[in-house]
Amino acid sequence: MKIKKILFLLTLLLILPFTKVKAEADVNVFYGEDCPFCAREEKFLKVLKSELGDNLNIQMYEVWNNDENSELLSSVQAALNNTDDGVPFVVIGNKTFSGYNDSIAEDIKKTIFDNLKNPKVNIVELIKNDEPVPTNTSLNTDPTIHFTILGDTNVKETSAATIAVTEGMSDAINLGSLWVMLFLSCIMLCVYNKKKRWILGGIFVLTSTITYAILTFINAEFTISQTTFIRSFVSIIAIIIAAISIDAHMKINIPKKSILQSFQETFGKKQMLVYAISIIITSVIASFTLVNQVHSSPSLVKTALEIQNIIGGAYVNMVLYFFMYLLVSLILLAVVNTIIKELIIENTIGTYNRLIAGIVMLIAAAILLFAPSIFMMV
């Protein structure tokens, strides 16, 4: 009965973050097939989509091989008195962006958040439907942001504390965070002592929360190439831990005086230290990726605070956000620890715990390297 309750709670926690509702900021992208700058911009927008989720609606229009889309581009440019040539060409509200570079990417992101604060009409959609384009493109509505638990929320009518608490809870259970929790679980599988498992888990939760909070407060941002490097580095650590775990199970005979044998002997003597260092490195590095790419981003909470014109209490509410992130992470850690104890370590399957941990870690590393979108790390 105890295990059933734990599995029910875990299932509930996993379902909560993925409720989908409508988008609020419309981004219309006119691009050309095989255009290198268009491809770079599309990757950038995928990162933004993973960060903002249902708050961002991206419409793509290929214009080099599609006459209808090409005519639509001409009509949009005429309506906005724009004479720019070439692609990519982006329309957000009544603002346009021609070409692509890091500066334009920054301006696009800023404009998207401005649209969340002050909703604008979708001019491209109006022109597609042969409707007149209004002089005033602002929508006469209060800013509405989609939050994971609250859904579509009128920010002006919802308390900042409510937003901070609910988003902090959901953010701890996004797929990006769960990858790091999976990494931690594999390491915990190799540790029989309950107290030591809690020590390793506590190190992970505190390190990831503190790093995540610091990066958020200093407005850290990273490029596609930087996040690719981060993913690769984390994957390498995962592969090393996986090799150690599988080797510990198989008890592979290594030739004497080999480098690998020396490494094994050192690891055997300082196992907890190696695990702790691996967890710290992984949680810190993963936080660098998560700060830009989680579905329930702290940036949405910060945007809500700006809409409500909260200045003095902004830091208090962001601290509340990360407190809830920490609290839910600890609850999730307790669930994982109990599952490991009840279903694996204290069961006959426990004799294969290191082998299971190694195989799962290798699979997770492969996914992170070759299909990062599964973990929402584009």
Q: Which residue has the tokens 């199970």?
A: 249
Residue 204: name the closest of 139, 278, 300 by CA.
278
Instruction: Give the strand pairing for 56-62 and 25-31.
Output: parallel
Average pLDDT over residues 20-29: 67
Do the beta carbons of residue 176 and residue 292 sit within 8 Å? no
What was the pLDDT predicted at 58?
93
Query: Over the stretch 341-355, which tens digit does the pLDDT of each residue have?
Result: 776 666 655 567 777
Query: Over the stretch 56-109, which tens digit does the pLDDT of each residue have?
Result: 889 999 999 999 999 999 999 988 888 888 899 999 988 899 999 988 988 898
Residue 29: name the closest of 102, 106, 100, 101 by CA.
100
**152 vs 134: CA distance, rounded Å:** 25
- In three-state secondary structure terms, 43 is helix
What was the pLDDT predicted at 208?
81
Average pLDDT over residues 211-223: 72
Global pTM exceeds 0.75: no
Q: Verify cis geometry, omega within 30 degrees of 0, for the bond prior to 88.
A: yes
Query: Over the stretch 179-214, which tens digit does the pLDDT of each residue have?
Result: 667 777 777 777 777 888 888 888 888 888 888 888
Rg (CA), the chain: 24
Sorting pLDDT into bands at 50, 70 and 90, what band is 336? Answer: confident
CA–CA distances in Å: residue 253 to residues 202, 240, 256, 258, 261:
34, 18, 9, 11, 9
Sorting pLDDT into bands at 50, 70 and 90, what band is 295? Answer: very low
Average pLDDT over residues 48-57: 78
Compare 254 and 358 and report the one with higher pLDDT. Answer: 358
What was the pLDDT predicted at 24?
67
Q: Which fold has domain 22-142?
A: Glutaredoxin (3.40.30)
Sign of CA dihedral 133, 78, 116, 170: positive
Compare 293 and 270 and report the one with higher pLDDT. Answer: 270
Lookup: tokens for 228: 């690719």
What was the pLDDT predicted at 210?
87
Compare 112 and 12 and report the one with higher pLDDT. Answer: 112
| Mean per-residue pLDDT over the chain, rounded | 75
Residue 172: name the closest of 163, 181, 182 by CA.
181
Q: Which amino acid, 131?
A: E
pLDDT above 90: residue 146: no
What was the pLDDT predicted at 19?
35
Domain boundaries, the chain: 22-142, 162-375
What was the pLDDT predicted at 91?
93
Do the beta carbons of residue 223 and residue 344 sit within 8 Å? no
Which positions ≥6 away from 24 have C-beta within 8 Å? 54, 55, 56, 57, 115, 116, 119, 144, 145, 146, 152
Do the beta carbons of residue 180 and residue 286 sit within 8 Å? yes
**85 vs 274: CA distance, rounded Å:** 56
Average pLDDT over residues 143-162: 76
